[in-house]
Amino acid sequence: MHRRLSVIALLAVAAVELLAAQTTQLPVRPEALKFAVIGDTGTGAPPQFDVGSRLNEARSAFPFDMVIMLGDNIYGRQTAQDFVDKFRRPYAALLTGGVTFYATLGNHDSPMNRYYPGFNMGGQRYYTYTKKNTQFFVLDSNAMDVQQVAWLENALKQSREEWKICYFHHPLYSDGGRHGSEVELRVILEPIFVKYGVNVVYSGHDHIYERVKPQKGITYFVNGSSGELRRGDTHPSDMTAAFFDQDEAFSLVEIDGDTLYFQARSRTGQTVDAGVIHRAAGNPPR
């Protein structure tokens, strides 16, 4: 009975947060970094096309020029035609408009997909790049070997950017019923994230949208429902800040100075979560 009441209370809080999110707007400041987040996309099915359309529509008011992809970018066959049907066609308007995609590999992706030019991985399983005051660290959570961990620690140690964002496929924290938290991966990565001041982490794998309450100062997002959906698969817990599992979803993000603004939207364009994350003022890059 106690667990049932706790779940009901969490659902009530989620409903209140949903109403608040619907009134939250992205600032759309001219010099701010703007990007979109999608995960578990590559089906070639109508919902993926719908999300692509909503992303393109969003650009009229929120002119982002990059998208981060959280893995499972191509499901099933992975021939040249599949990259057309499951990537180039669903996002044709974005690609024509000059939007750049930066991918990580999921468990359904062939390792060879890192060579696909449209994913901008440069042939690497893990890599880093910088945009304005933000450095992104892209990992291959399918094979977290010693070499990758050493590379990550060195890259974070060398970083002097104000914001450090990591993304990869398997979530360290998730209330998804199908997979949930990857605790063994968390044991490896979380101490490094904390030590070097990572601010935000994005993952997919569970086909839901979820925002986790900050863990050791880091905000974690699961955004694995941009093409595939497991309706009703979220099992809220004490770590749940917000979730949406009734439709496919994607996110829009804006970083302006010491503030990160985020907004998650459904396949129909409804805002289902939104808020801000503040980087501690006066906290110098490590």
pLDDT in tens, 241-259: 999 999 999 999 999 999 9
CA pair distance 165, 175, nearest whole angstrom: 21
Q: Which residues, in sequence order, are CB contacts of 88 under 8 Å at separation 6+?
A: 95, 118
- Give the length of the chain: 286
pLDDT at 3: 47
pLDDT at 174: 98
pLDDT in tens, 156-168: 999 999 999 999 9
**Helix, strand, or coil here: 250?**
strand
**Residue 149 belongs to a domain with what CATH number?**
3.60.21.10
Q: Contact, 262 vs 223, CB < 8 A?
A: no
> How many structural domains are present in the chain?
1
On whether residue 53 sits in a domain, the answer given is yes
On whether residue 98 sits in a domain, the answer given is yes
DSSP assignment letter at 175: -
Strand-pairing partners, residue 273, are 264
Q: What is the mean pLDDT of residues 182-186?
A: 97
pLDDT at 280: 77
CA pair distance 124, 127, nearest whole angstrom: 6
Angle at 130 between CA 59 and CA 60, to 5 degrees: 5
Query: In whole numbers, what is the pLDDT of the chain averaged over residues?
Result: 92
pLDDT in tens, 21-56: 455 689 999 999 999 999 999 999 999 999 999 999
CA pair distance 40, 48, nearest whole angstrom: 10
On whether residue 284 sits in a domain, the answer given is no
Strand-pairing partners, residue 100, are 66
Residue 111, judged by CB atoms within 10 A of its CB (0-12, 13-18, 19+), counts as: exposed
pTM assigned to the model: 0.91
On whether residue 286 sits in a domain, the answer given is no
Name the pLDDT band for 185 (thresholds 50, 70, 90): very high
pLDDT in tens, 82-102: 999 999 999 999 999 999 999
pLDDT at 237: 96
On whether residue 285 sits in a domain, the answer given is no
On whether residue 203 sits in a domain, the answer given is yes
The parent domain of residue 254 ranges over 2-278
On whether residue 250 sits in a domain, the answer given is yes
Q: Which residues, in sequence order, are CB contacts of 150 under 8 Å at separation 6+?
A: none
Q: Which residues, in sequence order, are CB contacts of 72 under 8 Å at separation 6+?
A: 39, 40, 41, 42, 106, 107, 108, 109, 169, 204, 205, 224, 227, 228
Identify the residue whose tokens are 């993304």: 167
